[in-house]
Structure 1
Amino acid sequence: MTAPPTADQALSTPIHQVSFLEKLDVFPGLLSIDGAEAQYPSASVRHPSPSVRSLAYVHRYIGAPFSKVYEKWCKDNGMQPNFVTLRSGVKAFWVGDPQTAKYICVYYHGGGFSLDGDDTHLRFWHGVQNDAKTSDITIAFLFLEYTLVPHATYPKIMYEAVEAVKYVLEDLKRPASQIILAGDSAGGNMCLGVLSQIMHPSPEFPELKLGEGEKLKGIVAVAPWVSFRLDWPSEAKNRYKDLVTQYAGGKWSKDYLAGKPTTTYAEPLTAPTEWWRDAKVEQILAVSGANEILLDAISEWVEKYKSVNPDNLTYVIGTNEAHIAPIIHLRFNDTAETEQGKAIKSWVKAKL
């Protein structure tokens, strides 16, 4: 098992940006969707063909690093960028005012641990933020620009995810009851990894000390990547409906683990049922699409979690929706509400 970096090592380790050529290396996974038409009504923007969805993924990730995307997004929206550098050197940035917001949401973007975040992440969650304000709920989002594969693998990426929460707890001195974790796909995986670290501390990661009897306020997991297995029935059923592929999932998970054995912190579904009992979080929302290849794995994790925590998890499956629909639809300039997006906004206003 790889030892975590010491404080001095972490502070001296440079944070790399993924190069253009390294981004090209992910293309076989993105472009492995063949030309068969999706099993959607027509070829509308709301239900694009697999090849069009794949090209949207390429468009999403071939551009600038997430921090540069954020700077442009702030400029376009008349906002002042607000960056934080954590002890390891990894960057994070704010959407919302952490000084005045009642809640802090630490956000982990998806992309198979290999791909940058995108302005669609910022657009969607800024919309959630504004919707919450209509109910006098104020949230500041801290987006983590974690180090991507190949410059980091497990456990370093998870180390950075835990470090972001430690920053909010210790540097900002926020109680757990004011902290939310959210993430899509690989980011959802990281949310559950952080929860595991709170409940079952591993020496590989920073310790997260909650107050006596305290729990995180909530977790929003959008299509969380809970299993690296590739043999789920939903993969065969939805392989021509979803925007990710078996090939991409296999490549990304292999690259993330980089030859190391999987763990419950890396792959949440591998944890035994009892692992999740008395989870240190008040409420969880998990959303997925009926047309995504990860559906069966997500549903199995939900069933396992609810068997020992029957009252604090809400699960919504969006009809005729694919992977991370609330976010990826914005790439097609489709602003119509998805079922998953509606569920997120409703949950935020009901639970916070």
Structure 2
Amino acid sequence: MSRTPFFVRRVLARCSYLLPLSIRRRMIVISTYPLGQEVKSWVHEISKETWKGVWIAPKLKDIRQAEENAPEQDLILLYIHGGGFTEGYSFMYMETFQAVINKLNDEHNIRASIMSLEYSLSPEHKWPTACREAVECYRYLIHDLGISPYKVILAGDSAGGNLVATTLLQLKDMKTRKESDLPPLPLPAGAALLSPWVDLTVQEYPIARDTLTGRLLEIFKAAYVTETRHLQNPLVSPVYGDFSRIQCPIFVAYGSQEILKPSIEMFISKLIKSNCNTTVLRGDENTTHIWLVCSLMASSKTVYQSDCDAFIAWIAATASTK
């Protein structure tokens, strides 16, 4: 946790978005890249024909051991990072990932590994590329490795939360449609959406003390979606999707100062009306975008740890009921 005052960190984050995309991408790597030994012992890259990602777990020698170990784990967390679909990388939240794995093991006796998707970024790769990659990564866990869906929880922040929601919609669609190009995949044990960006049709944004701005969201949107007519597509804006037959538990967290708060609350209302098993964590009056997974965006170490612990407790409870 940085000793820089929270309001200064918030302003710096907002100002960083004024920089060119190539510089922002580099800055994220510089500010979040884990120590060398952590990368060697915790992170193992995997590259398939239709997607890329990393296995994250302690004491793994190589990708072969990661794959052999995965089916024996009690839980696999399939994580999808945020970054407005344009930036970020698969293991930029190592502090949180390590906390999740260690606390699940030490406090809940749950052995867990994380598969973090390295999806193709915009504007180089437009929608629906990332949507498809998320489903293919899940397919790899279930079909290729033979992991029970009852052991898999999907999770993602911001744009990654969007991709978690759209993955649920695609999986539900596979269950109801029988086309040969849509082999059935069961729903996961649960799904967690952290500060999710669920409505890309929004053009007017509330005044909030957030790290995000409306102007920035419009830039992200233009980079991700080629034609505005697609913005209401549920696989772009999942707030317009039908979640009525999605039976797995869903966890939604958002900050009180989120610029995305109105659309997230609308999404939560839709989940509840659809009779989804929904757990909501609303941060305190100072919480902003993605504070739960990025401690630099939290108002204090105490707030970050407390809310991260609540997230981990939900994961443990969801895993234990399957």
Aligned AA for 1:278?
A: R
- Indicate the SS of the match to 1:200: helix
Query: Structure 1 residue aligned with 2:246, among 246, 265, 279?
Result: 279
Give yes or no for the alignment of 1:207 onto 2:182.
yes
**1:133-178 C-alpha deviation (Å, 9 max, x unpaired):** 1211122101111111122110111111111001111111112111
> Residues 333 and 294 (structure 1 numbering): CA distance in 2 closer, same or farther, change over 3 Å?
closer
Aligned AA for 1:132?
A: L
Give yes or no for the alignment of 1:321 onto 2:296.
no
**1:291-310 C-alpha deviation (Å, 9 max, x unpaired):** 01101101111111111225
Give runs of aligned pairs for residues 126-165 of structure 1, distance below 5 A.
126-134=98-106, 135-165=108-138
Give yes or no for the alignment of 1:45 onto 2:1.
no
Q: Distance in 1 between matches of 2:8 and 2:202?
A: 24
Q: Does the Cα contact within 8 Å between 1:56 and 1:331 map onto a contact in 2? A: no
Q: Distance in 1 between matches of 2:283 and 2:263?
A: 15
Please give the TM-score of this superposition, normalised by the length of structure 1: 0.75
- Indicate the SS of the match to 1:84: strand
- Indicate the SS of the match to 2:189: strand
* Match of residue 255 from structure 1: 223
Query: Alpha-carbon deviation of 1:209?
Result: 1.9
Q: Distance in 1 between matches of 2:270 and 2:161?
A: 16
Aligned AA for 2:123?
A: P
Give runs of aligned pairs for residues 235-314 of structure 1, distance below 5 A.
235-238=205-208, 241-259=209-227, 261-262=230-231, 263-271=233-241, 275-281=242-248, 283-310=249-276, 312-314=277-279
Please give the TM-score of this superposition, normalised by the length of structure 2: 0.81
> Residues 231 and 150 (structure 1 numbering): CA distance in 2 closer, same or farther, change over 3 Å?
closer
**Percentage of identical aligned residues:** 23
Q: Distance in 2 between matches of 1:106 and 1:54?
A: 29
- Indicate the SS of the match to 2:6: coil
Q: Does the Cα contact within 8 Å between 2:126 and 2:223 map onto a contact in 1? A: yes
- Indicate the SS of the match to 2:296: helix
Aligned AA for 1:54?
A: R
Aligned pairs, how many?
294
- Indicate the SS of the match to 2:141: helix
Q: Does the Cα contact within 8 Å between 1:95 and 1:142 map onto a contact in 2? A: yes
Q: Distance in 1 between matches of 2:12 and 2:133?
A: 33
Query: Alpha-carbon deviation of 1:280?
Result: 4.3
Q: Does the Cα contact within 8 Å between 1:110 and 1:185 map onto a contact in 2? A: yes
Q: Distance in 2 between matches of 1:167 and 1:128?
A: 22
Q: Distance in 2 between matches of 1:351 and 1:329?
A: 24
Q: Distance in 2 between matches of 1:158 and 1:293?
A: 24
Query: Structure 1 residue aligned with 2:14, among 49, 54, 71?
Result: 54
> Residues 208 and 348 (structure 1 numbering): CA distance in 2 closer, same or farther, change over 3 Å?
farther
**1:78-97 C-alpha deviation (Å, 9 max, x unpaired):** 61542221222x32111125
Q: Distance in 2 between matches of 1:334 and 1:74?
A: 27
Aligned AA for 1:266?
A: V
Q: Distance in 2 between matches of 1:315 and 1:295?
A: 13
**1:190-223 C-alpha deviation (Å, 9 max, x unpaired):** 000000001124899973523xxx5411111101
- Indicate the SS of the match to 1:48: helix
